[in-house]
Amino acid sequence: MMFHRRSVNKSATTAPPKHSTSLRRSVSYSASLSLPAPSWTPSSAKRRPLETQHLGLAALDAGYCCHEFTKLHLKVECRLDRHVVGGVLENATGQTLFKVREKPLSLHRQRMLVDTTEMPVATLRTSAFRRHKATYSSFLRTKMPKTPVFKFTMTHSKLEMIFSDIMTSETCRLGSNGEQDDTEIWLQRGLFANTVRQPIAHMYPAPPGSSMGYSLDIAEGVDAVMIILVCIAIHDSKSDCMWRTSSNFVWSPAIQSICHLLAMDMKQVASKVQTLAALRHFVAAFDAVHVASKLTQLCVTADAVVDVASHETLFLIQQKQYSLHRQRTLLDGRNQLPVATLRLSMFNRTPTYSAYPRTEHEETPCLFKFTANDKTVRSEFTDLVGGEHCTIGCDPPKVGSDSLNFWLVRGSGEAADVQQTIAQLTYMHTKNKAEQSIVLNVAPGVDQMMMILICIGLLDEGDEGDEDENTQE
């Protein structure tokens, strides 16, 4: 294998002989899944040559230091309609070296790197409480002590990591530079600003003809697992849009139906709705963070919420199996962390939905409730922005119409304010009832998450109505 355990010998000064341009493997595999030779690499002429670390460089485990210049393939897979790094292959043979297992429905996104025998090698945990500056903690195997082995941050796709080198006990710094999708990971020994930045790894899209993912070049003497964990975080920071045009990628049927709907003439939808005026005072029932700053148009299906303008998947909708109460969890489309949970109570004559932050828990208070059938909605709540009592609703549509207008009334009784239109939706019908969707227009100043959860409830009730009609037939 390409990794071996180096002895921690600080006095070692002799450099091993330079490797040839062709890869020399110490162990040949009896079975392999060959990948095409990397004859094409973007911006290869601009890449600086990787510098061998003769004394070794490790932050996690010195046993995974590369004993020669190493080329790996990070395999990108689509899970829950989100592209993630699912495995690590040896580029020369296609042999699987590591797999990435993700813990489902965890407050902190947690992934485990396992070897071919399913033994854990390392755990990578992403903090759920950092929005613009993602913080990653790395642990050895599955042990979760209070202090991780090392931590690093990603800000606007830029790596920042300071750690103590296991091999030399020096304080080192890792960072990244890159043009477009070609990323260089560099090393500084010591924290002085004038210290030379040595390139120790390159990460770039895999050449055409190979499986979807990245090619990863690692210098001799560098901890490969440390670099793999960092590269997983770099992938997280990149836009998911680059994989949507990949010829190797096949959309799931649910997302294919969404794209088909978005490809329809949206002018027909726009012609049926009135212009939504911005609210002078914001209104929020779920979280003021989700208040729309401009007119927003969303497509809501049973599986996802997609921005109509950019075609970006904002949220994934996951249904809980074997639950007494019908329960759905919205996952952030960027990092798959839970954002909201919608639960339908089975003990109310009128369908009643309860919205919770992140994942529903016995001690977590309900943020707001609403009642719904397939054509009407009512919800009373205290506005999180102004503290006023508010009522949201929509009335049954006119005969032959597929559009609904949502109205808002602030206050109650004689103190009630004038009714305002805050959102409009249009049902997009398809031959397959399971693929029915809603195009939602949300006025500026309105809590988008509140409206998305209401639309999910309307879709649920519409499905229930279709089932009842089929049963009567």
- In angstroms, the CA 241 to CA 233 distance is 17
Average pLDDT over the chain, rounded to an integer: 78
**Of residues 253, 255, 295, 289, the one with CA closest to residue 275:** 295
pLDDT (0 to 100) of residue 345: 79
**Is the confidence at residue 246, as pLDDT, over 80?**
no
**Is the confidence at residue 396, as pLDDT, over 50?**
yes
pLDDT (0 to 100) of residue 73: 94
pLDDT (0 to 100) of residue 389: 92
Q: Higher pLDDT residue, 53 or 360?
A: 53
pLDDT (0 to 100) of residue 465: 46
Q: Where are the domains of the chain?
A: 44-243, 253-472
Token pair listed for 391: 């009522």
- Please name the CATH architecture into which domain 253-472 falls: Beta Barrel (2.40)
- In angstroms, the CA 133 to CA 156 distance is 8
* Average pLDDT for 50-77: 93
Where would I find the beta strands (DSSP E) of 251-388?
A: 296-300, 304-307, 313-319, 326-332, 338-344, 352-357, 368-372, 377-382
Lowest mean pLDDT among 13-27, 269-283, 398-412: 13-27
Q: Are 216 and 205 in contact (CB under 8 A)?
A: no
Residues 6+ apart with CB under 8 A from 473: none
CA angle 104, 109, 113 (to 5 degrees): 80
**Of residues 435, 336, 437, 339, the one with CA closest to residue 77:** 336
Q: Give the amino acid at 79.
A: R
Residues 13-29: tens digit of each pLDDT = 444 444 433 333 333 33
Lowest mean pLDDT among 199-213, 320-334, 380-394: 320-334
Residues 94-115: tens digit of each pLDDT = 899 999 998 876 667 889 999 9
**Of residues 382, 87, 66, 56, the one with CA closest to residue 214:** 87
Q: Higher pLDDT residue, 282 or 277?
A: 282
Residues 130-182: tens digit of each pLDDT = 556 788 999 988 756 678 999 999 987 889 999 999 999 999 999 999 866 78
CA distances from 347 to 352, 353, 356 (A): 9, 11, 18
Q: How many CA atoms lie within 13 A of 20 on its CB side?
A: 4
Specify the fold of 44-243.
Porin (2.40.160)
Most confident of 77-86, 272-281, 411-420, 435-444: 435-444
pLDDT (0 to 100) of residue 97: 94
pLDDT (0 to 100) of residue 11: 41
Residues 6+ apart with CB under 8 A from 155: 132, 133, 134
- In angstroms, the CA 157 to CA 236 distance is 9
pLDDT (0 to 100) of residue 386: 86
